[in-house]
Chains A and B, each alone.
Chain A
Amino acid sequence: MAMTRKKQRTTMIIGGLVILGIAAAIIMSALRDTIVFFYSPTEVAEKAISPATRFRLGGLVEKGSVKRGEGTTVRFNVTDTAKTIKVSYTGTLPDLFREGQGVVTEGKLDGSGTFIADNVLAKHDENYMPKEVADSLKKQGYWKHTEEDKSKDTKQ
């Protein structure tokens, strides 16, 4: 059963489409299950987010709010200057975690409105502001892309 060129091409195209279709189905279903939303403290206050939902909370670490307990748990507040959320995190903080600086944390709310973070995202550059945080702060009219920031931008 020698294959003709046309038949071979058709087989390959159909096979390719089938695999691509299966892959697309896997991708869609995995996306639905795994995407994590990003919220600012204001959005968290507006939306009633159920404690079962994982999300990312981003904003500034409120000045003077970082409290280290006796163990490895750290508490701090994340603010977008309009609203503030309490965060509790167990583990070691990234090197560039600082009061007054931008931060992105991932986790869930507990019943009382405290955000239990299991991940505080690291950054590589102290001048870098996560885009989501920058956008949500801009919404509050707080953080502006000033000339000073511009000059820092040349620094990688």
Chain B
Amino acid sequence: MITEIGHFALILAFALAVFQTIVPMYGAAKNDRAFMATAPLSALAQFALVSVSFAALTYAYLTSDFTVKNVYANSHSAKPLIYKISGVWANHEGSLLLWVLILTMFGAAVAVFSNNLPQTLKARVLAVQGSVSSAFLAFILLTSNPFERLSPAPIEGTGMNPMLQDPALAIHPPLLYAGYVGMSVAFSFAIAALIEGKVDAAWARWVRPWTLAAWMFLTIGISLGSWWAYYELGWGGWWFWDPVENASFMPWLVATALLHSAIVVEKRNALKTWTILLAILAFSLSLLGTFLVRSGVLTSVHAFASDPQRGVFILLILCFFVGGSLALFAWRAPTLKAGGIFAPLSREGALVINNLFLAVSAFAVLTGTLFPLVFEALTGGKISVGAPFFNTVFGILIIPLLLLIPLGPLLSWKRADVLGAMQRLWAAAAIALLVALFVMAFKERGPWGAPLGIALGVWLIAGSITEMAERTKFLRVPFSTFMARLKGLPGAAIGMTLAHIGVGVTVIGIVAITAWKVEKIVALKEGASIEIAGSTVTFVSETPSEGPNYSAETGRFDVTVDGKFVTTLYSQKRVFRPSRQPTTEVGIYPYWSGDLYVVMGDAINTGGRTVRVYFNPLAPLIWLGTVIMFIGGMVSLFDRRYRVGAPKRAKQTAMQAAE
């Protein structure tokens, strides 16, 4: 019964979404207040209906109702509670329902938090949101109904992919989807602005918090996925340049560009057309990501079984929204009034460079990701484009951008004194150079460029702090004045500094693990040991054990340094019921200098096990940096300016507020 209620709520939500697409849009065109006023109401009702639907599916999972086909195919009564819940979205149908749930949640949030929007803009934004949810609700109802029943009902379910039974992966999809789907708000604002033919500082200020929120979710979602791959898959790596990873990384790059260009629109009323285009592209790439993951057109190590017919449906949705929005852009963008002008060497100029490099990097990733498809279509040959391509191209494109990051915030608007800004960065440059020399002197091996890579990260951190010190006149005014200035800084400025420091921290982690990772693969019998990066790892014993829905062989490894006991690591081989699918659990010990990473492999005929041991220098910094970026986004989001409300749409006030 509850299942049928869930299905019915979903159908009602679809009808409401279609209504929300048409009526407010018509109302905005005719300037009919009553019609426009239906938009927020239907956005809220739609969210409520999809929530009911989602709750119904969750209930079916919690009660292990195997009369529901989706539950039967993806769950098992012996599964721990948290994975019964995360099982809801660990499959195609359920994950799409989650996608729509988050989409309607954003729609409802826009309805609630945008009281200061002009009514026509609000109606149009919500109408575009409605069109996106109509498309995806139709997709679910027609091709991927999670509420399908099974008769006769099986006694037990077939279980959930054991690799996905992990705390990080339980929350990874919701966060990533919040990022993907959050981009729909910026998209809807862009489309609404194109229809209205008006983009100004107020518009940018309304869009920015939404983009920022989506960007934060995307950042932390990607980071969690990478962290999971690092400790769960047992291959010692953290990023594979796999199509599915790229699918989430491309929208992130474009969203980052959008965050920066929206500042130019807000403060200087320039780059308007470009910002609109970025908003469209960011969401288009999110849709492309959904398509790549859900259709299985690209071979991916992440690929789960997929269905080409569903792929075609998503492809149609993709074509409609991307094609439609770009056509609208081509038609309406020339009518937007051009904004303020600036010299190439200025804060605006620096942000344009930032945008160029980020957009081109996204383009490079897109090319590498789709090239195998194009190649096969043209020649019939099958190829793969892997890490060497992406590391080369992405590295070349991103390093100049990273080098310029500390400089940008020191430049003034309109026309800047670049030489002066560079002079103010001498201390940061000196620190970075010293670190490079220090690393060069003490490193025993690794590529020659690695110390420079570390220096780049240090430069980013020191340079970002320099900008903050400049703003607060650190050491040049009494300490109390400095503190007062620090407290007076807008949240956005502190957020920016934090985010840039986060990038630096991540860069250091990436350079260190790439340059100085140590990997050893050995056959070890119980009692034997191996030396790695100063540690001695001894394979002590191997014992069988039982988990709630798996049986395991646990390898115990004692770690000693210079004969002194440090820790015991456990690495497990688990075999899950009922699928008999094996998984590996990695043992990780974090030294301050990096992770010791032990994986117990297969048994060897002559006794003992294959054992893989890694030392991953400074690896945790990769994810720590993304957490700092996330916090930066959060601080920026709580900037007072977004709370006191956007400036009036009169040009004069907008300019004043921008100062």
Interface residues in chain A, defined as those with a beta carbon under 8 Å from any beta carbon in chain B: 2-5, 8-9, 11-12, 15-16, 19-20, 23, 26-27, 30-31, 33-39, 56, 68-72, 74, 90-93, 95-96, 104, 121-128, 130-132, 135, 152-156
Partner among B385, B522, B573 whose Cβ is within 8 Å of the Cβ of A31: B385
- Residues in A neighbouring B489, C-beta threshold 8 A: none
Q: How many residues of B contact A (CB 8 A)?
A: 70
- Residues in B neighbouring A155, C-beta threshold 8 A: 73-74, 91, 158, 161, 305
Interface residues in chain B, defined as those with a beta carbon under 8 Å from any beta carbon in chain A: 69-70, 73-74, 90-93, 95, 158, 161, 163-164, 233-235, 296, 298-299, 301-307, 338, 341-344, 352, 356-357, 360, 363-364, 367-368, 371, 375, 381-386, 388-389, 392-393, 396-397, 521-523, 573, 579, 581-584, 599, 601-602, 604-606, 610, 612
Chain B residue with minimal CB distance to A152? B305
* Most chain B beta carbons < 10 A, residue from A5, A38, A72: A72
Given contacts A5-B338, A23-B364, A155-B305, are A37 and B381 in contact (CB under 8 A)?
yes
Q: Is the CB of A34 within 8 A of B302?
A: no
Complex CA distance for A16 and B363, rounded to whole angstroms: 13
Main secondary structure of the interface of A (DSSP, over half): mixed
Q: Is the CB of A131 within 8 A of B299?
A: yes
Complex CA distance for A104 and B73, rounded to whole angstroms: 27
15 pairs across A/B with beta carbons < 8 Å?
Answer: A15-B352, A16-B356, A27-B364, A33-B388, A34-B392, A35-B371, A95-B581, A122-B233, A124-B302, A131-B298, A132-B299, A153-B306, A154-B70, A155-B73, A156-B92
Complex CA distance for A11 and B353, rounded to whole angstroms: 12
- Closest 4 A/B residue pairs (Cβ): A92-B601, A38-B382, A34-B389, A34-B388
Given contacts A36-B384, A70-B523, are A92 and B599 in contact (CB under 8 A)?
yes
Q: Is the CB of A68 within 8 A of B384?
A: no
Partner among A15, A27, A93, A126 whose Cβ is within 8 Å of the Cβ of B368: A27
Complex CA distance for A91 and B611, rounded to whole angstroms: 9
Q: Is the CB of A92 within 8 A of B364?
A: no
Given contacts A95-B581, A96-B581, are A30 and B393 in contact (CB under 8 A)?
yes
Closest-CB distance, A124 to chain B (whole angstroms): 5
Q: Is the CB of B383 within 8 A of A36?
A: yes
Complex CA distance for A19 and B91, rounded to whole angstroms: 41
Complex CA distance for A109 and B472, rounded to whole angstroms: 63
- Residues in A neighbouring B306, C-beta threshold 8 A: 153, 156
Q: Is the CB of B302 within 8 A of A156?
A: no
Q: Is the CB of B357 within 8 A of A35?
A: no
Q: Apart from A3-B342, A95-B584, A122-B233, what are 6 other A-B pairs with CB-CB below 8 Å?
A: A15-B356, A16-B356, A92-B612, A124-B161, A131-B303, A155-B91
Partner among A8, A123, A124, A128 whose Cβ is within 8 Å of the Cβ of B342: A8
Closest-CB distance, A20 to chain B (whole angstroms): 6
Complex CA distance for A133 and B392, rounded to whole angstroms: 28
- Residues in A neighbouring B302, C-beta threshold 8 A: 124
- Residues in B neighbouring A3, C-beta threshold 8 A: 341-343
Q: Is the CB of A37 within 8 A of B305?
A: no
Given contacts A56-B384, A96-B581, are A91 and B521 in contact (CB under 8 A)?
yes
Q: Is the CB of B383 within 8 A of A35?
A: yes
- Residues in A neighbouring B582, C-beta threshold 8 A: 95-96
Q: Is the CB of A37 within 8 A of B383?
A: yes
Q: Is the CB of B235 within 8 A of A5?
A: no
Closest-CB distance, A122 to chain B (whole angstroms): 5
Given contacts A68-B604, A70-B604, A72-B522, are A156 and B304 in contact (CB under 8 A)?
yes
- Residues in A neighbouring B301, C-beta threshold 8 A: 121-124
Q: Is the CB of A38 within 8 A of B383?
A: yes
Partner among B164, B392, B610 whose Cβ is within 8 Å of the Cβ of A30: B392
Chain B residue with minimal CB distance to A93? B602
Q: Is the CB of A71 within 8 A of B389?
A: no
- Residues in A neighbouring B352, C-beta threshold 8 A: 12, 15
Q: Is the CB of B386 within 8 A of A11?
A: no
Q: Is the CB of B367 within 8 A of A27?
A: yes
Complex CA distance for A69 and B610, rounded to whole angstroms: 11
- Residues in B neighbouring A124, C-beta threshold 8 A: 161, 163-164, 301-304
Chain A residue with minimal CB distance to B397? A23
Complex CA distance for A35 and B382, rounded to whole angstroms: 10
Complex CA distance for A57 and B382, rounded to whole angstroms: 11
Closest-CB distance, A61 to chain B (whole angstroms): 14
Closest-CB distance, A116 to chain B (whole angstroms): 15
Q: Is the CB of B393 within 8 A of A26?
A: yes
Q: Is the CB of B161 within 8 A of A125?
A: yes
Complex CA distance for A47 and B220, rounded to whole angstroms: 46
- Residues in B neighbouring A27, C-beta threshold 8 A: 364, 367-368, 393
Given contacts A19-B360, A72-B522, A124-B304, are A36 and B386 in contact (CB under 8 A)?
yes
- Residues in B neighbouring A26, C-beta threshold 8 A: 364, 392-393, 396-397
- Residues in A neighbouring B389, C-beta threshold 8 A: 30-31, 34-35
Complex CA distance for A89 and B163, rounded to whole angstroms: 24
- Residues in A neighbouring B371, C-beta threshold 8 A: 31, 35
- Residues in A neighbouring B368, C-beta threshold 8 A: 27, 31
- Residues in A neighbouring B234, C-beta threshold 8 A: 92
Partner among B90, B235, B393, B599 whose Cβ is within 8 Å of the Cβ of A156: B90
Q: Is the CB of B307 within 8 A of A153?
A: yes
Chain A residue with minimal CB distance to B294? A156
Given contacts A123-B301, A124-B302, A155-B74, are A92 and B386 in contact (CB under 8 A)?
no
Complex CA distance for A92 and B360, rounded to whole angstroms: 38
Q: Is the CB of A23 within 8 A of B363?
A: yes
Given contacts A72-B523, A92-B612, A125-B305, are A8 and B581 in contact (CB under 8 A)?
no
Given contacts A31-B385, A37-B383, are A93 and B304 in contact (CB under 8 A)?
no
- Residues in B neighbouring A127, C-beta threshold 8 A: 305
Q: Is the CB of A132 within 8 A of B382?
A: yes
Complex CA distance for A15 and B350, rounded to whole angstroms: 13
Q: Is the CB of B385 within 8 A of A35?
A: yes
Closest-CB distance, B295 to chain A (whole angstroms): 11
- Residues in B neighbouring A135, C-beta threshold 8 A: 382
Complex CA distance for A92 and B234, rounded to whole angstroms: 10
Closest-CB distance, A136 to chain B (whole angstroms): 8
- Residues in B neighbouring A156, C-beta threshold 8 A: 74, 90-92, 95, 161, 304-306
Chain A residue with minimal CB distance to B381? A37
Q: Is the CB of B392 within 8 A of A125?
A: no
Closest-CB distance, B344 to chain A (whole angstroms): 6
Q: Is the CB of B385 within 8 A of A34?
A: yes
Q: Is the CB of B610 within 8 A of A35?
A: no
Complex CA distance for A154 and B69, rounded to whole angstroms: 9
- Residues in A neighbouring B70, C-beta threshold 8 A: 154
